[in-house]
Amino acid sequence: MKWFEYGDETISDKELMIAVPSITIGVGILSLPRFIAKDTVSSDGWITLAISGILFIGLAWLIAKLASSYPNQTFVEYAGSLVTKPIAVILTFLLAVHGLILGAYVMRVIADIAKEYLFDRTPVEVIALSFLLVVVYAISGSRAGLFRLNMMFFPIIIFITGAVGLFAIAWFDPKNYLPVFKTDFSGYLSSFKSSSFSFIGSGIILFYTCLVRKPKKVPKMAALGMSIVPGLYIVIYLMCIGVFGNLATANLSYPIIELAKEIEIPGGFFERFDSIFFVIWIMSIFNTMVMAFDVSVFAFESIFKWKKIQLILVLTPIVYLMGMFPQDLIAVVRFGEFVSYYGISVTFFVTIGLYIISTIKRRKTNAKA
């Protein structure tokens, strides 16, 4: 079987814009309303999501501004011009590792959720391996094709989210949103930490900007893409609070899936809307893992100069073993926290550090001129 070969491997700034929310919105949103509701009172959690969103929109813009300042250069190339080649290789390796562990975590969580809601008799290991093999098949083809896939899947994900909200209107209780502004500072701080974990993924801009044909608009498009994320998170959070209330939302493992289970489409057209929702949401999770895994392969390609298929064959067993290493739900949660802390820390410090160095060097160059 032969896959379709695109005329070139370049992408548009709009495709990069869609790629940002595509990798960010994944398994985290399924349980995000629960973590936010635990730390806040009534519907106050939207404030935390809005603040987190603004901060990560700014970070996405900063990452894109840095990467677009060096058009048609890979991360290791422009980082090498700023901090020497050996340090650039180390930074590339650290960012590539994040893509691997994020992919491993996503694979494990989707396997656990699928076993709980869809395949109760199938071992987690089999579900995870099946999902991973589909991801491997996707990234083995054209890299530009992955961005077209995001463009196709993302509108469907937005549509199904809107459909959940529309059909759930009958169960909304406005009293669940009251009282407002009753959460104390420590509650906002805890919920901010929980919500921040669901915004990781903007680091892909550091690597994929070199594929953009016209990178001048990349900072604007990256910020627009990231702005979709907090908007969608706030809508889903308020839907769960409006139907279940704060206390019930805080005690549901996956509130948005439970909300989909409550929906009954008039006329009995679909008896189990949650199955449809879950299948569609797998598209979002698939996008997350595909982009995370592919950006790691892309990064390692720039370091080791291996062929793409060779790297995939080496990295696939590593991702699978890392995902299967946690033995129980508590270990999976701790693994997720590690992935989040690592991703935020590496992306933040690499971006800020390189941006400062780039700004200083540009000022020195302009001063000499």
Predicted pLDDT of residue 330? 87
Cβ neighbors of 176 (< 8 A, separation 6 or more) are 42, 43, 241, 242, 243, 244, 245, 246
CA 306 from chain center: how many Å?
27
DSSP string, 223-259: HHHHHHHHHHHHHHHHHHHHHHHHHHHHT-SSHHHHH
**Which residues in the chain belong to E strands, given as ranges?**
none
Predicted pLDDT of residue 269? 55
Which residue do the tokens 């800020």 mark?
352
Predicted pLDDT of residue 2? 47
Question: What's the CATH code, domain 13-353?
Answer: 1.20.1740.10
* pLDDT beneath 50: ranges in the chain: 1-6
Helix axes 218-250, 255-262, angle to 10 degrees: 70
Phi, psi of 11 (to 5 degrees): -130, 165
Predicted pLDDT of residue 4? 47
Q: How far apart are CA 35 and CA 56, in angstroms?
A: 19
Predicted pLDDT of residue 252? 87
Confirm if 33 and 256 have CB atoms less than 8 A apart. Answer: yes
Reported as half-sphere exposure (CB side, CA atoms, 13 A), residue 69 has a value of 19
pLDDT digits (tens, 9 = 90+) for 146-155: 898 888 888 8
Predicted pLDDT of residue 268? 56
Q: What is the pTM assigned to this prediction?
A: 0.90
Confirm if 247 and 88 have CB atoms less than 8 A apart. Answer: no
Q: How far apart are CA 73 and CA 136, in angstroms?
A: 26
Q: Tell me the three state secondary structure of residue 11.
A: strand
Confirm if 8 and 210 have CB atoms less than 8 A apart. Answer: no
